[in-house]
Amino acid sequence: MHAIRKYSQVTKITMANSLVYFWNFLSKNVFFVFIMFIYLMLWRNIFAQKGSTSIGGFSLNAMIWYLIFTELVTLSRTDLHLQVNDDVKSGNIAYLLNKPYNYVLYCFSYFIGEIGIKLLTNALIGLAIGLIYAGILQNFRLVHLPFIILSLLLGCIINFFIYLCLALTAFWFEDNSAFFWIYSKLIFTLGGMLMPIELFPKWLQGISHYLPFVYVTYVPARLAVDFSFQSFAMESTIQLLYLGVFFALAMFLYRKGVKNLNVNGG
Amino acid sequence: MSLSFEICLRALFFLGMWNKMESRRCFIQGGDYMSIIKVQDLCKTFKVKTKEAGLKGSVKSIFSPNFREIQAVNNISLEVEKGEILAFIGPNGAGKSTTIKMMTGILYPTSGSIEVLGFNPSKERKQLSYKIGTVFGQKSQLWFHLPPLDSFNLLGHIYDIDNEKLKKRIELLKEIFEIGDLMDIPVRKLSLGQRIRCEIAASILHEPEIIFLDEPTIGLDVVVKQKIRELILKLNKEEKTTIFLTSHDSGDIEQLCKRAIIINHGEVVLNEAIKNMRRNYLSKKIIDIKYNETVNGENKNLNIIKGKGNALKVQVETSKENIDEVLNTLIKLGKVNDITISELPLEDIISYIYKQGTGGDEYACNT
């Protein structure tokens, strides 16, 4: 009970802190509007060139909404991993360790506090963009929304723990910024942000399904445009599994890393 | 046979555990044991990557990186008693912060043992953190964009303090630290002095038995420094908190501490009561004397370190010279207008001890 109170208070204070940056978050959404406009132009052209109403099982309307959902996950990402990375490298982490909490759970509570505000502002903008660019999402039923949100949140959380694991490698590597870059590109390609993985060659589709990247962006976005309880049950189970794997990995890296901590001087 | 042997073993193990628990209980309840920090032969070695200068060195370090071991802390042993205010001082890079980080469980020692309130900090960091507080002068535990009250509430929850108790505690600290009117101002808008007051209050929210203050007065002006010192003394007196202080400011040490441990190059070079330090290292006195008219101070019995017009500054080595005789000689030189006899500042004594520790220059009076 004490633990829940402790970590929920971290979430609460992070939310309060995030509100200080509310207008900053909102202004970042200009990029969201811009990138979606580019996607709209691109896919309109592709559909026109192809002369068909469906590509890889997606209509233009579904494609735009799909891309909005993938962007929603990545744009709502917090920068906490950069903070953790910096703290480990500068030795500042030493000043965060002498409190009676689990550091990984502390970071997670912090993330929950920030993602709430970010997702909310991005969702509002995403909804407006979708309605203006593509119109109402076809075949959408309000009853599916809670499940779609759940899958979206799971995607965001997996994304957070992968980033946290990469940040914690700073305990061993002097410069780990390449890891973040590679991961973001993998999400962009294998995670289905550039295009749905249905458009990949069959062999790459098969591989992608075994990798965690699709469960960050592709799976929630696909569910949003083509929902079925069967695919939700299967995909969200795998999402939970990946979540467990990356949470355990973050805990392991943290415990090992702290023992290796070298903080010289004041 | 083997069963009875196993029973004996288990009984011995149980007794061992019981004794350990019992000794910890005594510590925590302030029983027979007075030392609440026990450090024995503590060592910490860091592995630091080195690189030869130039492009060649950079290329070489990619394929065969070189590492050098740095002995940050070397065989430190010390004890701190309950209720004590101890100064832990040393020049930059002496190993002060590394030692504190090991005592608070942040860093793992390479060898040696530490016991703080009966806990092993590196193995029982979480349990220990409920009993200790830390203030690192250059770091903040308050949320920069939010008022201190938000950080206080968060810390209260982190330390599992009940809402009612937390409320009372915050009220008390607001009064002691005179921060009542700062509680709703975002931390970024506070002055450094106001922030440090809030930092110290935040670090004792959970009523720690020991507080580690790492340069708490760094960057503060004299008035605020004085205020912080008064608060630390009050904390020690009213809450019976043991204070483990590091500072480069001799004023902090002089006004707050009864004992100082001086470390240099990771080793303890002095562990002494402040008054003994003064007595042992203050065999030199400075006499400032002003005459009505210009005097001729050329006297082979006087060690004149400065002479200008009608004023003389004379250094007396009391272990070798008789101060009475020196004074008589000085008085005979002319009609005395004013005379002051002073001891050397603590700052000079500390600097002398540092130099002694490194086998450096002989002490030179710089007054």
Among B72, B97, B134, the residue with its CB nearest the CB of A98 is B134
Residue B2 pLDDT exceeds 60: no
Instruction: Give the span between the Cα atoms of A17 and A215, in whole angstroms.
Output: 29
Whole-model pTM: value is 0.78
Residue A147 pLDDT exceeds 90: yes
CB neighbours of residue B333 within 10 Å: 15
Does the beta-carbon distance from A20 to B101 stay under 8 Å? Answer: no
More confident residue, A228 or B295: A228
Residue B25 pLDDT exceeds 50: no
Mean pLDDT of the region A200-221: 94
- Helix, strand, or coil here: B215? coil
Among A5, A92, A174, the residue with its CB nearest the CB of B157 is A5
3-state secondary structure B161-200: CCHHHHHHHHHHHHHHCCCHHHCCCCHHHCCHHHHHHHHH
Mean pLDDT of the region B23-36: 52
Please write the tens of the pLDDT for every residue from B109-153.
Answer: 999 999 999 999 988 988 999 999 988 877 788 888 899 999 999
Residue A38 has a pLDDT of 92
Residue reference for tokens 């929630």: A220
- Helix, strand, or coil here: B86? strand
Instruction: Give the span between the Cα atoms of B259 and B273, in whole angstroms.
Output: 4
Which residue in B122, B146, B206, B248 has the most chain A C-beta atoms within 10 A of its own C-beta, making it the best mutation to test that interface? B146
Q: Is B215 on the interface with A (CB under 8 A)?
A: yes
Q: Which residues of A have a CB under 8 Å from any CB of B?
A: 2, 5-6, 9-10, 13, 16-17, 20, 92, 94-95, 97-101, 174, 259, 261-266
Q: Considering only CB atoms, which chain B residues are within 8 Å of A92?
A: 139
Which residues touch A168 (CB under 8 Å, ≥6 apart)? A84, A88, A250, A253, A254, A257
> Tokens in use for B188?
């970024």
Q: Which amino acid is at B30?
A: G
Does the beta-carbon distance from B154 to A265 stay under 8 Å? Answer: no
- Residue B145: closest CA among chain A residues belongs to which residue? A17
More confident residue, B246 or B3: B246
- Helix, strand, or coil here: B298? coil
According to DSSP, residue B125 is labeled: H
Residue A218 has a pLDDT of 95
Q: Is B98 on the interface with A (CB under 8 A)?
A: yes
Q: Considering only CB atoms, which chain A residues are within 8 Å of B127?
A: 100
Q: Is B150 on the interface with A (CB under 8 A)?
A: yes
Please write the tens of the pLDDT for every residue from B180-204.
Answer: 899 999 999 998 888 888 988 898 8
Complex confidence, ipTM: 0.81
Residue B367 has a pLDDT of 26
What is the four-CA torsion angle of A38, A72, A244, A151, rounded to 10 degrees?
-110
Q: Considering only CB atoms, which chain A residues are within 8 Å of B207?
A: none
Mean pLDDT of the region B275-295: 80
Q: Which residues of A195-233 are buried (b: 16+ CB within 10 A; e: fewer)?
A: bbbeebeeeeeeebeeebbbbbbbbbbbbbbebeeeebe
Does the beta-carbon distance from B108 to A261 stay under 8 Å? Answer: yes
Least confident of A99-113, A117-131, B57-71: B57-71
The per-residue pLDDT of chain A, averaged, comes to 89
- Structural contact between residues B156 and B169, judged by C-beta atoms closer than 8 angstroms: yes
Among B96, B146, B158, the residue with its CB nearest the CB of A17 is B146
Residue A88 has a pLDDT of 82
Residue B350 pLDDT exceeds 70: yes
Does the beta-carbon distance from B150 to A16 stay under 8 Å? Answer: yes
Q: Considering only CB atoms, which chain B residues are within 8 Å of A261?
A: 106-108
At residue A153 the predicted structure's pLDDT band, cuts being 50, 70 and 90, is very high
CA B284 to chain A, closest CA, distance in angstroms equals 34
- Residue B151: closest CA among chain A residues belongs to which residue? A13
What does residue B162 show for φ and ψ, rounded to 5 degrees?
-65, 150
Q: Which amino acid is at B218?
A: I
Residue A260 has a pLDDT of 75
- Structural contact between residues B72 and A264, judged by C-beta atoms closer than 8 angstroms: yes
- Structural contact between residues B246 and B89, judged by C-beta atoms closer than 8 angstroms: yes
Q: Is B130 on the interface with A (CB under 8 A)?
A: yes
Among B97, B105, B141, the residue with its CB nearest the CB of A266 is B97
Which residue in B89, B157, B160, B189 has the most chain A C-beta atoms within 10 A of its own C-beta, making it the best mutation to test that interface? B157
Q: Could you give the count of Cα atoms lying within 13 Å of B225 in the half-sphere of its Cβ?
A: 17
Q: How many CB pairs under 8 A join A and B?
A: 81
At residue B343 the predicted structure's pLDDT band, cuts being 50, 70 and 90, is confident
Residue A181 pLDDT exceeds 70: yes
Taking alpha carbons only, the member of B174, B186, B115, B103 closest to residue B144 is: B186
At residue B356 the predicted structure's pLDDT band, cuts being 50, 70 and 90, is low
Please write the tens of the pLDDT for every residue from A243-265.
Answer: 999 999 999 999 898 887 766 44
Residue B28 has a pLDDT of 43
Q: Is B49 on the interface with A (CB under 8 A)?
A: yes
Instruction: Give the span between the Cα atoms of A187 and A159, in whole angstroms.
Output: 9
Q: Is B74 on the interface with A (CB under 8 A)?
A: no
Instruction: Give the span between the Cα atoms of A124 and A110, in whole angstroms.
Output: 22
Residue B95 has a pLDDT of 87
Please write the tens of the pLDDT for every residue from A38-84.
Answer: 999 999 999 999 888 889 889 999 999 999 999 999 988 888 888 88
Taking alpha carbons only, the member of B101, B122, B353 closest to residue B246 is: B101
Does the beta-carbon distance from A98 to B106 stay under 8 Å? Answer: yes
Taking alpha carbons only, the member of A74, A39, A66, A68 closest to residue A223 is: A66
Helical H runs in chain B?
Answer: 2-28, 54-63, 96-103, 125-129, 148-158, 163-176, 192-203, 222-238, 250-256, 274-281, 323-332, 346-358
Q: Is B203 on the interface with A (CB under 8 A)?
A: no
Residue reference for tokens 């540092």: B354
Please write the tens of the pLDDT for every residue from B223-266.
Answer: 888 888 888 898 899 888 999 998 888 788 888 898 989 888 88
Mean pLDDT of the region B329-342: 87
Residue B6 has a pLDDT of 54
Residue A29 pLDDT exceeds 50: yes
Please write the tens of the pLDDT for every residue from B50-87.
Answer: 777 888 887 877 777 788 888 889 999 999 999 999 99
Does the beta-carbon distance from A10 to B146 stay under 8 Å? Answer: no
- Structural contact between residues A265 and B97, judged by C-beta atoms closer than 8 angstroms: yes
Residue A262 has a pLDDT of 66
CA A184 to chain B, closest CA, distance in angstroms equals 26
What does residue B261 show for φ and ψ, rounded to 5 degrees?
-115, 120
Taking alpha carbons only, the member of B142, B132, B124 closest to residue B206 is: B132
Residue B53 has a pLDDT of 81
Does the beta-carbon distance from A97 to B105 stay under 8 Å? Answer: yes
Residue B221 has a pLDDT of 80
Mean pLDDT of the region B176-183: 88
Q: Considering only CB atoms, which chain A residues are within 8 Å of B126?
A: 100
CA A155 to chain B, closest CA, distance in angstroms equals 28
Q: Is B247 on the interface with A (CB under 8 A)?
A: no
